Amino acid sequence: MFTSDRDGDYDIWTMRADGSRLRKLTRNRIEDRCPSWSPNGRWIAFTRRNVYPPDLLVMRADGSGLRRVLKLRGTDSCPAWSPDGRRLVFVRMDNTLPTPVHAVYTVAANGSALRRLTPLNEAWENADWGRNGRIVFESTYAIEGRINIWSMRPDGSDRRRLTEAPTESHLHPRWSPDGRRIVFTNNRNGDEELYVMNADGSGMKAITDNGLNDWDPGWSPDGRKLVFARTVGNRQPEIFIANADRSGERRLTHWRRYDSEPDWTRR
């Protein structure tokens, strides 16, 4: 599953892991972005923009059963599901305040029990919820002007900084299916490259190093492959997959439009 503007506006599409059987799930002239598969592969959470305030929505895997979870206050990030599929985590940038603030929130999939997990301005744009029960998120806290990756419990306690980068930023963290590793991006060389580290921040290693921008990473259900977006010759992103050991890289989309924000399910 991924986001594409190949029809002139952003919609959510699905395809097989070899790039075949393309299917468009949303059909409108509104911006639908940031799709996320539920753990059982039956539901998709996403955000709908170009409406004010934006919407956090869920729908069935075939695009039916659309319903609003939450009316958002500002520019909110991609949602991610809890391991049991009952809640969603996201980062809210509340621009209804005189100075916009960022914080991590969770909400039940039915729209109830909204909770703020971090202090205001201790988050950036992306968060993910691992099978190990911890949430990873981006934050500028402690190192002003640089974004690092932190983890915490689902109630916001036990916050731990996993990366410490005074000269670059670490972005787009995503848990592996077993909760033991995190894939993310690093921009130390002026472009975003993929990296993997252990759940405690140790064992960091590069997966790509090509001078191109690789971002929006995610894992295959078995944790052996990665899916991500990459800018290619026309400077528009396309969807790629690669083995987690850096081998077997393959391009899946060739539309020369904006294909990004991929997510992978077992179904």
pLDDT digits (tens, 9 = 90+) for 29-73: 889 999 999 999 999 999 998 777 789 999 999 999 999 998 877
SS (H, E, C) the chain: CEEECCCCCCEEEECCCCCCCCEECCCCCCEEEEEEECCCCCEEEEEEECCCCCEEEEEECCCCCCEEEEECCCEECCCEECCCCCEEEEEEEECCCCCCEEEEEEEECCCCCCEECCCCCCCCCCEEECCCCCEEEEECCCCCCCCEEEEECCCCCCCEECCCCCCCCEEEEEECCCCCEEEEEECCCCCCEEEEEECCCCCCEECCCCCCCEEEEEECCCCCEEEEEEECCCCCEEEEEEECCCCCCEECCCCCCCEECCCCCCC
- What is the homologous superfamily of the domain 2-260 according to CATH? TolB, C-terminal domain (2.120.10.30)
Note the pTM of the prediction, 2 decimals.
0.94
Q: Which residues of the chain have pLDDT under 70?
A: 74-76, 95-98, 100, 142-145, 234
Residue 215 has a pLDDT of 94
Domain residue spans of the chain: 2-260
